[in-house]
Amino acid sequence: MNLIVQPDGTVTCLYDDALDLTGLGRLTIARASHVEPTGSGQWTADMSPVNGPVLGPFRTRTAALHAERTWLEEHRLKLGR
């Protein structure tokens, strides 16, 4: 899990149950995307909640989730791969 700490102490990350974040202080959690099935049985990752594109379609939900995480890390957390 990548935690990005800003100069003002704000911490940004992709939420994951792997780490209890409550020790960091007051949390603000917001949806960044919607991974949903298409009518043809494929999957898309709609990044519109963060002004991003719709990714996909993908054959599996796992592939859509991977693309979602990669896009968020590159564009929202600025991790660059």
Per-residue pLDDT of 16-54, as tens digits, reads: 888 999 998 999 999 999 999 999 999 999 999 999 999
C-alpha to C-alpha distance for 59 and 1, rounded to whole angstroms: 26
Which candidate, 28, 37, 25, 35, places its Cα nearest to that of 69?
35
Domain holding 46, by residue range, is: 4-75
Does residue 80 lie in a domain region?
Answer: no
- What's the structural domain count of the chain? 1
Residue 36 counted as domain residue: yes
Q: Is 34 helix (H, G, I), strand (E, B) or coil?
A: strand
Q: How far apart are CA 76 and CA 8, in angstroms?
A: 18
The answer to the question of residue 81 being in a domain is no
* pTM of this prediction exceeds 0.75: yes
In a domain, 19, yes or no: yes
The residues, ordered by sequence, that sit 6+ positions from 31 with a Cβ below 8 Å of its Cβ are 49
